């Protein structure tokens, strides 16, 4: 559990970066880094759940990641598929509801099947929501939301923030409170662009496989010291 004096954000998003560089620094293959990154994700999910986070969005595979070597992409797809099924007892034990944000269409059929199954099997769980971003891009989500709005009979001249936001992948998830990126890079890489409009940002130099509950508590500590004004002036 984190220290009692911390303000815990409701919705946390994490860009889990640094798996490949972590592996390279140890003379290992990039795939070894991705395997270790999965173990880290499980630790962080558990700590976030214990801390009282309501929703945790994890950037697992972006729409741009298809540009990577075919061998690495195939490995990642296989890792996602087997991990979703293998961790069901972990989800059930903690009551974790698993959802997916992203474009399902380009994903391999067996990966798509596993995503839909885990969503269905955990849909009644009432604990923290674990939102997996797989084949996800913020721009792509906004474009798909606009097309969905038009297909439902909406007129372009009538669209507003509410109309578009209700057509996002999961409109019931609160906007992002805290956006974390590991691995030392200082960018958000097309991650939850709409939902992150007023998110607090926390960048960590630590590679994702080395992240622990203490790193997450450090992010919460920084968040607790922020004054969120949402464009207004504090009174």
Helix (H, G, I), strand (E, B) or coil at 201: strand
Domains, the chain, in order of start with CATH, read: 11-136+175-224 (3.40.1180.10)
Cα–Cα dist 46/213, whole Å: 9
Look at residue 87 and tell me whether its pLDDT is greater than 70: yes
Say if CB 215 and CB 14 are below 8 A apart.
Answer: no
Tell me what pLDDT residue 227 has: 85
pLDDT in tens, 50-70: 999 999 999 999 999 999 999
Q: Which of 65, 190, 210, 217 is catalytic?
A: 65
65 is catalytic: yes
What mean pLDDT do residues 127-137 have?
Answer: 98
Residues contacting residue 34 through CB under 8 Å, at least 6 positions apart? 19, 20, 75, 76, 79
- Dihedral of CA atoms 38, 42, 48, 53 in degrees, nearest 10, equals 80
pLDDT band at 5 (very low <50, low <70, confident <90, very high): confident
Q: Which of 4, 5, 17, 158 is catalytic?
A: 17
- List of E strands, 93-235: 97-101, 129-136, 178-181, 200-203
What mean pLDDT do residues 39-48 have?
Answer: 97
169 is catalytic: no
Cα–Cα dist 27/30, whole Å: 9
pLDDT band at 233 (very low <50, low <70, confident <90, very high): low
Q: Which residue has the tokens 């450090």?
A: 218
Q: Give the pTM.
A: 0.94
pLDDT in tens, 200-219: 999 999 999 999 999 999 99
Look at residue 4 and tell me whether its pLDDT is greater than 80: no
What mean pLDDT do residues 153-173 have?
Answer: 94
């Amino acid at each position: 559990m984190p220290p009692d004096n911390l303000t815990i954000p409701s919705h946390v998003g994490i860009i889990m970066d640094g798996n490949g560089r972590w592996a390279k620094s140890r003379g290992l293959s990039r795939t070894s880094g991705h395997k270790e990154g999965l173990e880290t994700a499980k630790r962080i999910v558990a700590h976030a759940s214990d801390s009282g986070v309501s929703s945790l969005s994890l950037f697992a595979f972006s729409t741009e990641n298809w540009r990577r070597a075919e061998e690495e992409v195939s490995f990642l797809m296989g890792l996602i598929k087997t991990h979703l099924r293998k961790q069901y007892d972990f989800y059930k034990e903690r009551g974790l509801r698993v959802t997916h944000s992203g474009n399902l269409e380009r994903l391999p059929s067996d990966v798509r099947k596993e995503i839909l199954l885990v969503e269905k099997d955990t849909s009644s769980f009432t604990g923290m929501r674990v939102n997996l971003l797989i084949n996800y891009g913020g721009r792509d989500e906004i474009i798909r939301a606009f097309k969905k709005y038009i297909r439902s009979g909406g007129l372009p001249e009538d669209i507003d923030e509410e109309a578009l936001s209700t057509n996002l992948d999961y409109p019931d998830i609160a906007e992002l409170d805290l956006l974390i990126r590991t691995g030392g890079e200082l960018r958000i890489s097309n991650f939850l662009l709409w939902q992150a409009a007023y998110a607090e940002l926390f960048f960590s130099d630590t590679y994702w496989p080395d992240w622990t509950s203490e790193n997450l508590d450090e992010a919460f500590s920084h968040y607790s010291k922020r004054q969120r004004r949402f464009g207004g002036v504090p009174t």
